[in-house]
Structure 1
């Protein structure tokens, strides 16, 4: 199948927002957009109004699927939009279909009340079943809008600077202790598509000694140059591969999830990695990815890496 961006629909406002974001992504990549409505209804699968108009099929969600496809064709002239309805267990089907897509895009409501299968366990189950990047989108977000009414954290000026600089840019969380080539490749590629602004954030913690303010400040000043150097070394190959991308590096002190959320306030996209791993209860999502997809207002891309 030719290159494409895929968006999963379920009839909710959140999935409509995901479809609109996916249309913009498809245009940036100059590829087709594929809309999928997946349900466990045993009715035969069939195409849904490939070229607009009536006849989209008499099954739940048919009008939403064809209406969304028609609206995106009208709003994005020249974009090829394919609309399909598939049957099966939603997470399994979406993960299977993600394998052939540049990106899979799903709707998200974070920790709000859940309505629609893509807003809860199915979104997470889809993410952990595929190696392809999955982007979760909430309705109403615009780049430049903060998540908490203001940028950053008064206790850490660098975190505040990172958040203020993030407005409209791509933000990527970097762990200098892990190989995260897939995550960085995706983040740099997304930044290049969006005008070349990338904010790389590595969060770290102070050692548990001397909790008085003077000792903490001294430890921070002594350790930060080494942390900054490690981040710079990790990013060096990607700067060479993507010379058009302007990269700003930040090393705030504090919990990873909290600092990433502050740093991504107003961002166009937050990119985080997840290690491919299996727990006794099955494949699971790491704590950082789990936290940001539930609390970040900006679209969040989760990218698997070894």
Structure 2
């Protein structure tokens, strides 16, 4: 991607303006939708009826808002839980989100907005063990199925909280970007599913920190594909993931706070070198976690 596209996909501010893509927003009942500049990108806050919405309207992006407490959230015609006790809520836009999205809170008016397309690269990785690319061993396949069920339990966590309303920080103090969210993966020459993580190369053993307050929804030390894996629940179905860890310092059910050490960088599972694969999901939608961080990659 060009440098301007990198900035678009990484920089934002929560609580005081949020860097957004240059996507047009269609809101028939908007009270205030004037764009405000921040750096080389644009911030946009929408208000419609009793609620407001601020976010990155791009594929892999998100938006947060505040309305009335305990109201139904309807996104693209599908129920997505309730607003918090304070009326806070979050919605996410999948990697392949369609051009338009619609939000309805409670019995308020609908808010329609365009989702900017994100360009994705092709990433080729060779030299992986065959069983890490296309497993065939029945015993291994049974293990993978059991681990999938375990992960699904973690993904189903739904903390009644809104910790996502504050800015996130990077989970590593120092790193080199080695893979971006959404890239099409070709493993050992075989096309595979897109990469849903943001890869951060760093020495093995480097501490990994919680980027935001959360409940530990899953903490497993040695899964086949992920190696050491931690899932953090930031509220309302927003789950962040930390893969290939060499060590874990938290356990399932723990409460963690922003900046708290949760594990160490490793290269367990499907990895060719030490790095942290940082991922995020909002319910069933894959998001780019790097969009949540206040500061840009150095």
Q: Structure 1 length normalisation: TM-score?
A: 0.28
More contact order relative to length (CA 8 Å, sep ≥ 6):
1
- Higher share of residues assigned strand: 2
| Bigger CA radius of gyration | 1
- Higher share of residues assigned helix: 1
Q: Structure 2 length normalisation: TM-score?
A: 0.29
